[in-house]
Amino acid sequence: MRTLIALFLAAFAATASAQDAPRDVHSYAQPDKVVIRDLGLDLRVDFERRVLRGHADLALEWRDPAARELVLDTRDLAIEKVLGKAADGRWLRLAHELGERDATLGQKLTIRMRKPYDSVRIRYATSPEASGLQWLEPSMTAGKTHPFMFSQSQAIHARSWVPLQDTPSVRYTYSARVRTDPAVMALMSADNPPDEPRDGDYVFRMRQPIPSYLMAIAAGDLVFRPISARSGVWAEPVTVEAAHAEFIDTEKMIEVAESLYGPYRWGRYDILVLPPSFPFGGMENPRLTFATPTVIVGDKSLVSLIAHELAHSWSGNLVTNASWNDLWLNEGFTSYVENRIIEALYGEEAAAMERVIAQSGLARSLKTLPKPAQILAPRPVEGSDPDDSMSDVAYDKGAWFLGFLESRVGREDFDAFLRGYFDHFAFQSIDTGQFVGWLREHLLASHPGAVTDKELEAWLYQPGIPASAVPTASARFEKVDAALKQWQSGRVAAADLDTAGWVTQEWLRFLEGMPAKLSNDRLVELDSAFGFTGSNNGEILMRWFPLTVRSGYFEARPAMAEFLQRVGRRKLILPIYAALAASREGREFARQVFERARPGYHPITTASVEATLAEKKR
């Protein structure tokens, strides 16, 4: 007899599968009535006014023949007019209304019509403060010569530069004409021919259907260096050679992923290296990953980020979470695939170290997260901000869960299952219930008893780390721990520790093993031996600087301020701001630095820093 848990999971899967377009609490759109199937953009990039201006043509598929309203998501867009295309080709003005502004969702745009038009055109302009766009003065770029603009659409920031159905449950193809200053190169998450002339007039086409958060645009002083026939690097001229050398293994990564999970289906895979103000490590925009320059450290020790963004070409871009409550379907799968790529290219121990760091970070995060936020597949919450769901839970608990499944059924069968999963749900958006149904039918049914219903329920719907989770061990980390113990006990001076050959991950383990505070003498000893304060490795600095703050090591303050003003990647700077905000003196220092750094921060980063400082103020 099936258990109550099994019945619950089966009912959850059946209900979710039956819903063709479940409601997304983070979107005003009504995809059960009408969906966008193709988007045509005609935009002009105005660096002086910091706006995009033009029109969007929406090709519509009406699912409800009685519907006469098209509801779209917008945020701070100036809507000039809305037109519908008549059967004779004429564009006729349509009535439209912008709703009240919601701090999270933006404004609902309702377009009313007497009949369901197949094509609607919206003329509009963005705001200089668009949450999904960043405009950089030449002085804020690596080359210091030309301005730079780039987008960040995930999670719901696409609506700040295009009026659309900003939900991952809707997928569409798109084309675009982008006109800009001929001195800069424009790129999009579409086809970007490496030999495209820089003439200020660019045409793009994305033939595979994508959700709105994967639409991206950038314009700046960009040049290209090939890695292989289908992959290469775009970057500013002063950055491109170092980026090319760091990411030279990209083609090998593609080949590994293809051998495991099937062909790469997006044509080219290129990498755009953005200025250091980019708020994330990377963004998996199809055909053109956006990447932070903070991973270019000269030894390839941080290229797991590229493996991660590439892995999204299967998990996330190809098979997409239908809403942000199922983010783990994107990030958990991707983190698992990333680790498999790292293992294949750099060895089992390199992959093990990455898993240990992730699992340790997850354990620390869970100590501060409320119970509902610790659940892999949480219930939708009205009024929530999907940016807040991007925690270690979706990434690292999700990857750990998939590793757990692999350990129970064997790698060969699990790889075959994943490949079938990606093939079956290709170019679709699904939810956790659909995954559970597919898992039961296509993996667990052929491995009876491998995973209990209670274990499955604990991983997906319960907070914390399940009892069935087996932590990863690393032989190299055991040596790091032994070295740290020798130093902490006073038996060996820092300069005498055997750290030759340590890679970034070993230094992170070393720093994460430190106590919350150290004496000034001990910090001076560490800094003299290893030069942490002067490091160019952001992963090291995001751990070292908070330690110096808690310990009162003011010698690190000038370098800390310089780093916070130069780098806008949230992962790297928020722990430092949080440590500073824990004291009155530190908070004042943080505010002074923030005011100088603010002009170079992305709006997403600015909001996160403001929230961090405000929270500590209370």
As annotated, the binding site for a peptide includes 152-154, 279-284, 569-571
3-state secondary structure of 116: coil
Q: Are strands 34-46 and 172-179 parallel, antiparallel or unpaired?
A: parallel
d(CA 228, CA 241): 15
Rounded alpha-carbon distances, angstroms, from residue 235 to 99, 141, 147:
40, 11, 13
User: 84 with 55: CB under 8 angstroms?
Assistant: no
d(CA 223, CA 238): 10
Amino acid type, 268:
R
Q: Which of 39, 78, 35 is nearest to 177 (CA)?
A: 39
d(CA 405, CA 561): 44
Please report where in the chains the tokens 């000269």 appear, as a residue: 298
d(CA 32, CA 42): 28
Interhelix angle 584-597/570-580, rounded to 10 degrees, is 140
Q: How many CA atoms lie within 13 A of 57 on its CB side?
A: 14
3-state secondary structure of 499: coil
Question: 55 - beta bridge partners?
Answer: 42, 123
- Known catalytic residue at 512: no
Please report where in the chains the tokens 């070393």 appear, as a residue: 510
Interhelix angle 504-512/348-366, rounded to 10 degrees, is 30
Alpha-helix runs per DSSP H in 262-347: 304-311, 328-346
- Marked catalytic residue, from 213, 395, 421, 577: 395
- Known catalytic residue at 309: yes
Residues contacting residue 556 through CB under 8 Å, at least 6 positions apart: 527, 533, 544, 545, 548
- Marked catalytic residue, from 309, 338, 343, 406: 309
Please report where in the chains the tokens 């130069």 appear, as a residue: 566
Question: 56 - beta bridge partners?
Answer: 41, 122
CA 570 vs. chain centroid, Å, equals 11
3-state secondary structure of 125: strand
Give 463-470 contacts, CB < 8 A, sequence gap 24+: 463/366, 463/371, 463/372, 463/374, 463/375, 464/366, 464/371, 464/374, 465/362, 465/363, 465/366, 465/397, 465/400, 466/404, 468/404, 469/400, 469/404, 470/404, 470/407
Residues contacting residue 67 through CB under 8 Å, at least 6 positions apart: 30, 33, 34, 116
Interhelix angle 557-566/538-551, rounded to 10 degrees, is 140
Q: Supply φ then ψ for residue 341, to 5 degrees.
A: -65, -45
Question: Strand locations in 243-356, DSSP E?
Answer: 269-273, 282-283, 288-291, 319-321
Known binding residues are: 152-154, 279-284, 308, 312, 331, 569-571
Known binding residues for Zn(2+) are: 308, 312, 331
d(CA 100, CA 87): 33
User: 436 with 491: CB under 8 angstroms?
Assistant: no
Catalytic sites, residue numbers: 309, 395
